[in-house]
A = this chain, B = another copy of it.
Amino acid sequence: MKTFLDCIPCFVRQALDAARLATDDQAIHEQILREVLRKILELDFSQSPPQMGRYIHTFVRELADVKDPYRRIKDKFNRLVMDLYPELKSKVDCSSDPLATAVRLAIAGNIIDFGIRPDLEESAIKDAVSHAMLAPLDGPMSQLAKRIPEADEILYLADNAGEIVFDRLLIERLPMEKVTVVVKAGPIINDATLTDAVEVGLTKLVKVIDNGTDAPGTILDDCSEAFQQRFDEADLVIAKGQGNYETLNDLEKDIFFILKAKCPVVARDLGVQVNESVLQRSQSAPAATKGGEHNATR
């Protein structure tokens, strides 16, 4: 998905958020904001939003001289959702359709996105859980349920810290010996890295690798060779969040996108309303594996 002009004011706001997390010095905030406006002018708007975001956040980290402005927030939300984990796990275990419930919760967890909601509070996570449990989820749930036992290699592309606790609930419903979870290789917004996977106990359950980049999505050409090979070999990819959708939606690959549509640009591209829960299969998924359901319904 290319960057829309609507993304530009959002990048400016994100840069300001990151600057404020990196330092309390207001003069530096203004300096960073001005430098970022200059930087945006240099960029090619035809790139995907995560590519643009990667340039901008790398630039902000350099200007602020802070390696990971979101580290404290990531730790906080990992802890916060780990505290909810027993209650959430019981929701899954007691459900009449545990896989679908785990998918719903994985969508709820996608609210923890500091690129979109820098002021997120704990109450919003609980609201998102309640909403996700009740909201319509018209996507190809039965296709996903069918594909999981058929697949030999399942790649689970994680999105954000805190959110990966919700992902753990879904991962625990998959054949874990076949699952590889993928995190980012370096800090970018509140995207999960290996530190987060360790913090929420994922590394004890499944294989966790990084994709070799610090883009807030999966820009295949920039990813490590090791990741690219694993991506090629995987016969089922579960991709969490807007950034993975924005970077992988045009690809010839069987991918199930699981996310909350949080911005108007992505919502429009998905054909849904802002805040809607989304389970969507890639347009290019092989017809033979679709089990008779419509492609890319939600």
Residues of A within 8 A of B (CB): 5-6, 8-10, 12-13, 16, 26, 29-30, 33-34, 37-38, 40-41, 45
Contact = CB atoms under 8 A, between A and B. Distances in A.
A41 B37 contact: yes
Nearest to A14: B9
Contacts of A37: 8, 37, 40-41
A52 to B, nearest CB: 13
A6 B9 CA distance: 11
Of A29, A30, A37, chain B has the most CB atoms within 10 Å of the CB of A37
A143 B283 CA distance: 64
14 contacts: A5-B16, A5-B26, A5-B29, A5-B30, A5-B33, A8-B16, A8-B33, A9-B10, A9-B16, A12-B12, A30-B45, A37-B37, A37-B40, A37-B41
Given A5-B30, A9-B12, A37-B37, 18 more contacts: A5-B16, A5-B26, A5-B29, A5-B33, A6-B13, A6-B16, A8-B12, A8-B16, A8-B37, A9-B9, A9-B10, A9-B13, A9-B16, A12-B12, A30-B45, A37-B40, A37-B41, A38-B41
Contacts of A9: 9-10, 12-13, 16
A86 B130 CA distance: 42
A38 B26 CA distance: 21
A30 B46 CA distance: 11
Of A6, A8, A10, A13, chain B has the most CB atoms within 10 Å of the CB of A8
Contacts of A45: 30
Nearest to A34: B41
Nearest to A40: B37
Which 6 A-B pairs give the minimum distances between C-beta atoms?
Answer: A9-B13, A9-B12, A9-B9, A37-B37, A37-B41, A5-B33
A8 B29 CA distance: 12
A12 B9 CA distance: 6
Of A13, A26, A30, chain B has the most CB atoms within 10 Å of the CB of A13
A37 B38 CA distance: 8
A5 B32 CA distance: 11
A6 B33 CA distance: 10
A146 to B, nearest CB: 40
A45 B29 CA distance: 12
Contacts of A40: 37
A31 to B, nearest CB: 11
